[in-house]
């Protein structure tokens, strides 16, 4: 009896194993397919996230390149126009066509990057914008009423403080893109730019009763040198 029972149990186990093997294989295949599907989904999500980050980076890079180019374009046009005024102040004042043509794309790109800039680049970009506005207003005044002293102050500031501001702008934009080293003294650089603007052309314009000061820009709530 024991032998027959054992044989029956073994046979039953064999039959059960034969019957359940396909189901077990099917479950294993289902788990494998699910795992493969989950892996593919994660890879697609990662690819999509990477593509989104890349697109955002490229949009920011392109906007920064355009801003840098238009800032430099305006500075070149303004410097060229000012040299013409200084070279012969007795001649008929030429129109500011080239300066206006350079200012328009700058303002467009400045408005665009305001939606993209983080805090540090925004602060410097705002200071550059103040400088550009001050330069433009000074040129307008010089076009209508030539003032040799103001023209000389503007000339020195454009080749000094304005050039420095453009350089600092390029540095902080490169830093934000991850292709340049950060400024070693950000707040010191900002304070220097502000002090040079306020002490030179803006002060000169106020002293001459021309009725303009630094205009435009962005207030961050961060002082130029919190430790000072």
DSSP, res 159: I
Q: Please report where in the chains the tokens 């052309």 appear, as a residue.
A: 201
Distances in Å between the alpha carbon of 228 and those of 116, 145, 191?
Answer: 29, 40, 11
Q: Which residues contact 141 (CB under 8 A, 6 or more apart)?
A: 147, 150, 205, 210, 212
- CA 178, 176, 164, 146 torsion: positive or negative? positive
What is the pLDDT, as a whole number, of residue 125?
A: 92
The CB density around residue 132, as the number of other CB atoms within 10 Å, is 25
Q: What is the pLDDT of residue 9?
A: 54
pLDDT at site 109: 92
- The whole-number pLDDT of residue 37 equals 72
For residue 227, the model assigns a pLDDT of: 38
Q: Which pTM does this prediction carry?
A: 0.70
Residue 183: phi and psi, rounded to 5, are: -60, 135
d(CA 214, CA 202): 7
What gap in Å lies between CA 155 and CA 149, rounded to an integer?
A: 10
State the residue for tokens 């699910």.
34
Q: Is the dihedral of CA 190, 195, 201, 206 positive or negative?
A: positive
Q: How many angstroms separate the CA atoms of 42 and 222, rounded?
A: 41
pLDDT-flagged residues of the chain (< 70): 1-21, 24, 45, 47, 201-228
Domain covering 57-207 in this structure, CATH number: 1.20.120
What pLDDT was estimated at residue 82?
Answer: 94
d(CA 87, CA 152): 11
Domain assignments of the chain as residue spans, ordered by start:
57-207
Q: What is the DSSP letter of 115?
A: T
């Amino acid at each position: 009896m024991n032998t027959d029972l054992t044989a029956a149990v073994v046979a039953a186990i064999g039959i059960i194993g034969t019957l359940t093997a396909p189901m077990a294989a099917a479950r294993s295949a289902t788990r494998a397919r699910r795992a493969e599907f989950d892996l593919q989904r994660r890879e697609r999500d990662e690819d999509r996230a990477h593509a989104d980050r890349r697109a955002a980076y490229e949009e920011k890079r392109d906007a920064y390149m355009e801003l840098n180019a238009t800032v430099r374009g305006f500075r070149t046009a303004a410097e060229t126009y000012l040299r013409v005024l200084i070279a012969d102040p007795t001649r008929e004042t030429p129109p500011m066509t080239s300066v206006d043509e350079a200012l328009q794309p700058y303002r467009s790109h400045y408005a665009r990057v305001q939606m993209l800039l983080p805090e540090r680049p925004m602060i410097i970009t705002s200071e550059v914008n103040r400088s550009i506005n001050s330069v433009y207003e000074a040129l307008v005044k010089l076009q209508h009423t030539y003032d040799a002293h103001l023209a000389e102050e503007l000339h020195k500031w454009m080749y000094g403080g304005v050039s420095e501001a453009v350089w600092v702008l390029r540095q902080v934009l490169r830093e934000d893109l991850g292709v340049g080293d950060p400024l070693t003294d950000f707040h010191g650089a900002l304070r220097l730019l502000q002090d040079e603007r306020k002490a030179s052309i803006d002060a000169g314009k106020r002293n001459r009763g021309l009725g303009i000061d630094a205009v435009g820009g962005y207030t961050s709530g961060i002082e130029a040198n919190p430790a000072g």
